[in-house]
Chain A
Amino acid sequence: MRELAYYEAKLEALSELMAADESVHLIGGSFLGLSPHRGLFSAIEKNYPDRVIAPPISELGYSGLAIGAAMAGLRTVVDLGTGSFIYEAWPQVVNEAANAFYMSGGQTRAPVVFHVLHGIRGAGAAQHSHSPQAMLWNCPGLEIVLPSSPGDVKGLLKTAVRSPNPTIFIDHAQLLETRGPVPEGDGAIPFGRAEVKRAGKDVTVIATSIEVQRSLAVAEQLAREGIQVEVVDPRTVVPLDFATLLESVEKTGRVVIVDQCHKSCGIAAEIAARIAEEGFDKLKAPIRRVTTPDVPIPFSPPLEEFVTPSEPRIIEAIRSVLR
């Protein structure tokens, strides 16, 4: 299978979506963040000048515009930049889009996609490093997508834009250069299908986004010591394929959960709670979480490194559940 970089797969998905359906409109133009490849997006702008909009710095306004346009039949994809900026649009995302279908009694669909680059990107400090996915998970009505590979970003973006529901599409800035296989053709991946990224019998690592790549690197390293790590990626947390996660935990009896949200009420917290509720009798050791501690993200590199769910921290957690 051909290999592409994450940013290439993402642009390919956007181009194919734009070509296939003229109701798809893009609002905002930094789908590749501050990446050196960001200029490549201009090809899409050039091909579809009427369907790519450069809005003013009015996240609340244009997010609402995108929701309203979606209610009226367009497929709008909004780029909000970093994960932190979705807070500027919060009332429209969590209080209008998320509620629209439910509170209208099933009358009104809002098939809008909000795209952000989440997480600790390197020197982003406290206001450009957020991982809003756990907060958004507490807003019923939003689908939440967290790709971790080039194949997944392409396939999940296809499904996100075609979904009848408001969808939050969350990339990590540090994933953009990651290379991996991407099938030719449409490649759409249905929501709610976790993937076992690496099979192993000793311990399950459930990870999301960039932390999947870190967990895979760790698994490779520990394999040399004879420790077989199974890495499972939910890929979407709403809907969540809990059955696949539980199946892995049943096999290994040991689980480490890795994500970049803060520890309290984060993605890892929720998955841990569900494993404790539904798979307690399968556990041979306590569940361990590797997350960002409950502090804002600091600027200085050693401070930032200290709070990041890094490979050494994942290794330490795996060893602790194997003891």
Chain B
Amino acid sequence: MIPKVPRENLLELCRRMLLIRHFEERLIHLHDEERFSGHYHVYIGQEATGVPALSCLERGDFLFTTHRNHGHLLARGADPRRLFAEILGRKDGYNKGKGGTFHLAASELGFYHTSGIVGGIIPLATGTAYAARTKKSGQITVCLFGDGALEEGAAPESFNLASLWKLPVLFLCENNGKYGAGRAVGAAQSPTMAVYPLTDLPATYKIPAKQIDGTDAGTVHVAVSEAVAKIRRGEGPQFIETQTVRWPGSETNWPVVPVATDAAMAWDVSSVPEAVREWYRSSDPVLIFIRELWEKKQATKEDIAELDRDVRKAVEQAANFALASPFPEPEEALKDVFA
């Protein structure tokens, strides 16, 4: 289903989902072209989680994310030029080239510190929540992490603190491994986690926890708005697990683009290689959302095609901006150790 928001907001959600998709596909190509080094992770397949979820926040709220952060920053309105520049290690990057893909921070958007340690941000999120509650500022904190983060001790310790002290924080666990490798229907969720369903872990600490479909923008929007409202009312921490089906391009250690996304694939996947066609037909959250917009008469196929073209153009311009941005001076390495 589509979120119950005005049409212009729906189109903006669609634009941001497409922006994430085309940004990440372009990024993979930049890596293939050896324009940047180092390992990296992309957000493809989770767009219908991040975009509607973060649209429920207010300006000034705190966000924490992990190594899989590009989509979260774009969902919140980050400048794709500065994102690309940071990932390419350039001077104009958000972190002056000192963070790279794992640590994209944009404090003006609420992203103060992005950790590449899977559970590293969970305690930090209780901290900004604690500060906001102390100052009665009304700000809430959203902590976005993957299912693997629950395997680190930081998660249960933080759930205990957040629950004991009723901290205004939403733990949003993006489980991108529905039907993933090593998992069978009715069996444990994963060969590395005894807790199943994952919501049992926060529930043990008396944190209300929900499991929802992360490929459905409307479901995400309803669940997150409700959770955010409860948190703002002072009801304490909430936990949501969103389930998505892993994008076939992320099955390997290094991401690969099996087919360049075109919005028209929402109606016709015949151009998609057969091996990955099923994912694009039934599990691609961006294509699902586009199809629903059209079915509900919120956009024509022409509207979508135009949006898709505009986004692609913006992504290309952003990539070119980053490629033209100079590298930092080497001595920059010695700055910013201390404030």
Q: Is the CB of A91 within 8 A of B120?
A: yes
Q: Are B120 and A101 in contact (CB under 8 A)?
A: no
Please, what's the 1-or-0 string for B102-125, where 1 marks a CB less than 8 Å from any CB in chain A? 010111000011010100101111
* A236 at the binding interface (Cβ < 8 Å): no
CA distance A66 to B130 in the complex (A): 9
Known contacts A60-B123, A64-B127, A71-B124: does B95 contact A105 (CB below 8 Å)?
Answer: yes
CB-CB contacts below 8 Å: B127-154 with A: 127-132, 134-135, 139, 141, 153-154
Q: A25-B134, A64-B158 are in contact. Are A104 and B99 (CB under 8 A)?
A: yes
Please list 23 pairs of residues, one from A and one from B, whose beta carbons are closer than 8 Å in the complex, sorted by A's number.
Answer: A25-B134, A60-B154, A65-B126, A67-B123, A67-B127, A68-B130, A71-B112, A92-B154, A95-B115, A96-B120, A101-B338, A104-B99, A104-B103, A104-B112, A104-B113, A105-B336, A106-B96, A106-B339, A107-B112, A108-B105, A141-B338, A164-B339, A165-B338
Q: Which residues of A contact B161 (CB under 8 A)?
A: 55-56, 58, 61-62, 65
Q: How far is the CB of A100 from chain B (nearest CB, A)?
A: 5
User: In this assembly, does A190 line the interface, its C-beta being within 8 Å of a C-beta of chain B?
Assistant: no
* A60→B157 contact, CB < 8 A: yes
Asked if A73 and B135 make an inter-chain contact with CB atoms under 8 angstroms apart, the answer reads: yes
CB neighbours of A70 from chain B (8 A): 127, 131
Interface centre among B103, B127, B338, by most chain A C-beta atoms within 10 angstroms, is: B127
Given known A25-B134, A105-B95, contact A61–B157 (CB-CB < 8 A): yes
Q: Considering only CB atoms and an 8 Å cut-off, how many residues of chain B contact the other chain?
A: 44
Chain B CB count within 10 A is highest, among A68, A103, A108, for A68
Nearest chain-A residue to B112 (Cβ)? A108
Q: Is B229 an interface residue (CB 8 A)?
A: no
Tell which of A58, A65, A91, A140 touches B117, judged by Cβ atoms closer than 8 Å: A91
Q: Is A321 an interface residue (CB 8 A)?
A: no
Question: Please, what's the 1-or-0 string for B316-339, where 1 marks a CB less than 8 Å from any CB in chain A?
Answer: 000000000000000000011111
Selected contact of A61 from candidates B98, B106, B126, CB within 8 Å: B126
Query: A95 to B157, alpha carbons, bound, how many Å?
Result: 17
- Tell me the number of A-to-B contacts counted with CB atoms below 8 Å: 151
Whether B338 and A64, one on each chain, are in contact in the complex, defined by CB atoms closer than 8 angstroms, is: no
A63 within 8 A of B: yes
Query: Footprint of A on B, CB under 8 Å?
Result: 62, 93-99, 103, 105-107, 112-113, 115, 117, 120, 122-132, 134-135, 139, 141, 153-154, 157-158, 160-161, 164, 335-339
User: Does the CB pair A95–B117 fall under 8 Å?
Assistant: yes
Closest chain B residue to A53, Cβ basis: B165
